[in-house]
Amino acid sequence: MKRREIFAGNWKMYKTRETAKSLVKSLLQGAALTENREVVVFPPSPYAAEIASLCGGSVISVGMQNMYFQKEGAFTGEVAPAMVRDCGCKYILIGHSERRHVFGETDAEVNKKVKAAFEHSLVPMICVGELLEEREKAKTETVLEAQVKEAFNGIDAGRAGTAVVAYEPVWAIGTGKVATPEIAEEAHRYIRSVLEVLYGKPAADDIPILYGGSVKADNIAGLYAMENIDGVLVGGASLEADSFLKIINTR
């Protein structure tokens, strides 16, 4: 089957307003997409509305890198789900390893954010992945199962089918290390098997699973060739138009 493909760029805490605008304008000019493929960019939140305005009606969708799960309130420094929508964003990145391991975000909080995303008509891109020590102790599947099950806890099949999952082995993020296509495919296949237990095979087969972790133009082809890798979530290589376009335009 042909699942929807998503090639996403997480700009993290990089770019100024002008360099962010320049980057997205280059992407708009250079992205040669097929009908089944979507590009998503996650700019820093201060620039999200302006980037979303530039991308309106184009082949590029925009997401926010983080939000809080409460509707509103006295939560200084946080962004509400309705604010994400109001900025023109379609996607929300949830559970990125930096949120989990730098800022202490728990599986339970990830689940609350997933529920809040659906309640506000946002598409959650849910990140899961194991630490190096967990992989070395053969705990990868245990970690992935727990993270996926908790993220989707209380989510019905109809909503779950619109979500996106991104497998990001923590040991490969920003390290220059990349899981081999075979290692990545094995993890993706396992994640899909967990989703199948939760929702059945047809629903699980519809959910795109992206790979993230030191993705570059010179390793995208091998990853993209794998059956269960439906796109990528790119970090550093998405910060420059040339390198990201080479990834986006992979065939």
Task: Name the residues annotated as catalytic.
Answer: 96, 168
Cα-Cα-Cα-Cα dihedral sign, residues 90, 81, 9, 242: positive
Which of 19, 152, 24, 6 is CA-nearest to residue 88? Answer: 24
Radius of gyration of the chain (CA): 17
Tokens 């992989």 correspond to 135
d(Cα 75, Cα 52) in Å, to the nearest integer?
25
Using DSSP's 3-state secondary structure scheme, residue 53 falls into: helix
- For 112, the 3-state DSSP assignment is helix
